[in-house]
Chain A
Amino acid sequence: MKKVLVGKFTYLDDIEKVIDELLKAGYSKKDISFISPFPVEHIIEKLGGSDSPVKYSVLTGGLLGFASAIGLVLITSLAYILPVGGKPVVAWIPYVIVMFELTVLLGSIFNLIGLIVFSRLPDIVLFIGWRPFLPSFTDDKFGITVSTDRVDEVRAIFERNGAEEIREYS
């Protein structure tokens, strides 16, 4: 049965060595998680790149906003005709403002939804307290969690590279 080991570290170069050794030992990037109080770009890059599917969510929202704005201005103009001073009933230039605003609005809403869905938030189990996580990971320490059935091997890698604390979760 697989267990989760969490190691607490102070130095980022120790973290890099741990990740390198774990990858060399045959662990996949999906089994390893790095936890930090602020984004550390080069380690995030090492564990899977900086790209995120949030961009597709934003694109969907933006297109939906743009399309719904076109629908809204067309329906409202044609359902209730207000001819003023010989101006066209469907006047595209003033509608650009509405289209722009709704594109931004829905794009942003879908951006938030994308962030929440892809980051698997809200993480309800954290409230219960069994999740492999230490409070100092939001303060001044860095963490590595590994899902493994070779506990002793991972523990040895952590200890060899300066782990200050190691916890085991089943």
Chain B
Amino acid sequence: MHQEVEKIRVNIHEGITPEGKKYGEQFTYSEISEEIYRASTKPSIWYFLGLGICVALVLAGIGTFAYLVIVGMGAAGFTPPIFWIHFIVNFVFWVGIAHSGTLISAVLHLFRSKWRRGIFRVAEAMTVFAVMTAGLFPLIHIGRQWYFYFLVPYPNQRELWVNFKSALMWDFVAVLTYFTVSLMFFYVGMIPDLATFREKAKGIRRTIYSILSLGWKGTDKEWRHYNRSYMFFAAFATPLVVSVHSVVSLDFASGLIPGWQSTIFPPYFVAGAIFSGMAMVVTIITPLRKLMKLEKFVTDWHYDHMGKIILVTGLIVTYSYAVEFALAIFSGNKYEYDQFIYRATGDYAWAFWLMVFCNCVVPLFMISKKVRTNVWLMFVLSIFVNIGMWFERFNIIIISLSHDFLPYAFGTYMPRWPELIITLASFGWFFMWFLLFAKFFPVISIAETKELVPKPLRERGEH
């Protein structure tokens, strides 16, 4: 396994394997196009089984949502004083998941990192679908969904305007911007690959790829504008990575609830978002590379790097937890102190310690390179991180609300079946879009992978 990592790294950086063979002998341009096209067109029975489960979950979620609309939001487990329940936990969780996609595609692009090429398309798709999932939860949560357009600033006869001093409006603007920019970035990055698919496909698929690829040919003029445009997208998306989850964290930090009002929240949330997002990339890409036979393109070299990012962001998250406790202890604020003692020893102590185990202990295994390059072990660890990060949001939202200032206002929350089904349905919704994407679009960038192959030169010999 160790040897394999070294081999791939040499291939990419120097174009020569340790055996003295050219990288191009392992992958020709044609093979890259063909293998990625084949992966998108011939899914196995497991694909359809997975898609069926996802669609069933989505239908169950739609049915439950309809039930909540008809019966009222009281059917969910809203219990005074806890009025931000699973729906907001899920919102923050999915917005967090969306983050590493832009990190990989934008930040690592600006740093000219080569290892991103095998995985960035999957991460970008994950970003778009995760924001689509996150956006559903405020809509479900507001109760009267038919008034959601009140969030949009538009002239109306009531002469009312939205309040841009509210953190919730910042959230609306930030998430909308993030979704739009991520979608455009995702699409622009795919145009050359859609042109490759266009030339390989037949019938209706060819027509669809022709329209989506905008008649891309790959002329020097097109590439010149494309490269510059892509760089600008990356430059815009990089501060967005930091801004969006910072803004989401301000939903809490600008509140007065103990456990929420903290200046550490923006960096703490951004690190947590990258941590959970990268773990979700591992969770998704591991079965995907197996089912679509993409092991040649997504190697343990990629896992090694993803593991390093999970490890570093995991350590930042652990440090943030420690700082939160230190601030509570040394601030002299009794309510803040009580809140953190309650987190560790109160009704939800199990959730707190589960979070600590998953987010602080599990990533430490990734210090070992053997662990980072063991694909299935990384898959298992990434699931622990996903669970841990969901419970981090549970701890911040539910525990803080259940134990605020006055004992008579304390309460506990237990989810009822509507929240549980809608939570499961959100995973079905996310993976449904992902599976559909994998069936019809290039899951790995063809053009960027070809750039890794040494350029064909006659004086060097046959390509």
A: residues with CB less than 8 A from B are: 10-14, 33-40, 43-44, 47-52, 54-55, 58, 72-73, 75-77, 79-80, 82, 84, 87, 91, 94-95, 97-98, 100-102, 104-105, 107-109, 111-112, 114-116, 118-127, 131, 133, 135-140, 162
Name B415-463 residues within 8 Å CB distance of A. 446-448, 450-451, 455-459, 463
B181 touches A108 (CB 8 A): yes
Nearest CB on B from A95, distance (A): 6
Is B309's beta carbon under 8 Å from chain A? no
* SS class, residues of chain B in contact with chain A: helix
Of the candidates A37, A44, A87, which one forms a contact with B165 in the assembled complex, judged by CB atoms under 8 Å apart?
A: A87
Check A108/B173 contact, CB under 8 A, given A13-B458, A38-B450: no
A97 touches B243 (CB 8 A): yes
Check A121/B184 contact, CB under 8 A, given A95-B164, A111-B236: no
Residues of B within 8 A of A58 (CB): 232
B236 touches A104 (CB 8 A): yes
Is B239's beta carbon under 8 Å from chain A? yes
Check A54/B228 contact, CB under 8 A, given A76-B161, A108-B233: yes
Considering only CB atoms, which chain A residue lies closest to B227 in the complex?
Answer: A39
Is B112's beta carbon under 8 Å from chain A? no
Nearest CB on B from A84, distance (A): 8
Nearest CB on A from B463, distance (A): 6
Considering only CB atoms, which chain A residue lies closest to B169 in the complex?
Answer: A98
A140 touches B188 (CB 8 A): no
A123 touches B216 (CB 8 A): yes
Residues of A within 8 A of B170 (CB): 94, 97-98, 101
B: residues with CB less than 8 A from A are: 28-30, 33, 153, 159-165, 169-170, 173-174, 176-177, 180-181, 184-185, 188, 192, 195-196, 198-199, 210-211, 214-229, 232-233, 236, 239-240, 243, 247, 446-448, 450-451, 455-459, 463
Residues of A within 8 A of B185 (CB): 108
A122 touches B153 (CB 8 A): no
Residues of B within 8 A of A43 (CB): 220
Check A39/B457 contact, CB under 8 A, given A80-B161, A131-B217: no
A52 touches B229 (CB 8 A): yes
A72 touches B220 (CB 8 A): no
A91 touches B217 (CB 8 A): no
A112 touches B455 (CB 8 A): no
A112 touches B214 (CB 8 A): no
Check A79/B161 contact, CB under 8 A, given A101-B173, A104-B239, A111-B232: yes
Residues of B within 8 A of A119 (CB): 221-222, 225-226
A112 touches B165 (CB 8 A): no
Check A121/B458 contact, CB under 8 A, given A36-B223, A39-B226: no
Q: How long is the Cα–Cα vector from A47 to B220 in the complex, in angstroms?
A: 8
Nearest CB on A from B422, distance (A): 28
B33 touches A139 (CB 8 A): yes
Considering only CB atoms, which chain B residue lies closest to A133 in the complex?
Answer: B217
Of the candidates B181, B448, B458, which one forms a contact with A104 in the assembled complex, judged by CB atoms under 8 Å apart?
A: B181
